[in-house]
Every structure is written in C-alpha cells, then in structure tokens.
Amino acid sequence: MGIAIVAVTAAQLLDLATFTRMVSVHGPKVEANPLVAFLLTDMGLPFVAVAKIAALSVIVAVIVVLAGREGRDHHPRVATTVASVATVAGIIGGLTNAIVIV
C-alpha cells in the first residue's frame, strides 16, 4: 500500500503544481471547478493550496485505515479503489491544467 500512497501523493501534487502555474499564467478565470474558482478569488492561492494538502491528507488517512493491518478488519480492495480513483483524478487534473497552460 506504500506505493499506492506515493502514487496518490505524486498525482495530487502534480495537479496542485500545474494548477498553480495555470493560475499564474492565465488568472483564476480559467479554473473550471466553481468551488475552487470561488475559493481562489475569495481566499487566494495559499488557501487553495492548504485545502488541497488537507484533502490529500484525509485521502491518505482513509487509504491507510481501509488497508488496515493483519489481524484487524481491513478492506484492501476498497483501499485500492480509493487510491486508484485519487491517482487518476490527480493525473487528469494535472494534464488538463497543463493543456490550458500550453
């Protein structure tokens, strides 16, 4: 499960990095997610970055709890699904941000 956590973290940080670059190049008007656009215009980029890292922390915690330990209740398939969805979402977010940058 360690590799899954690294993959999730890398993908989500890719999304954050490309988002930061996209906003610095084109401004907040290019953000398609209305919630993120609202937070960006009202609270600023540092708030959005902290919110992203906080959400990432929650996702990693959910994966760790679901993966569990031997001898305790664990749900490895659900943990793998959560990790996969979070990784794919980060990669897609990073790619769409990169496309806007270019």
What are 45-82's pLDDT values in tens digits?
999 999 999 999 999 999 999 998 776 778 999 999 99
Do 8 and 84 touch, CB atoms closer than 8 A? no
What are 11-51's pLDDT values in tens digits?
999 999 999 999 999 999 999 999 999 999 999 999 999 99
SS (H, E, C) 62-80: HHHHHHCCCCCCCCHHHHH
What letter would DSSP give residue 1? -
pTM of the shown model: 0.89
Burial of 35 (0-12, 13-18, 19+ CB in 10 A): exposed
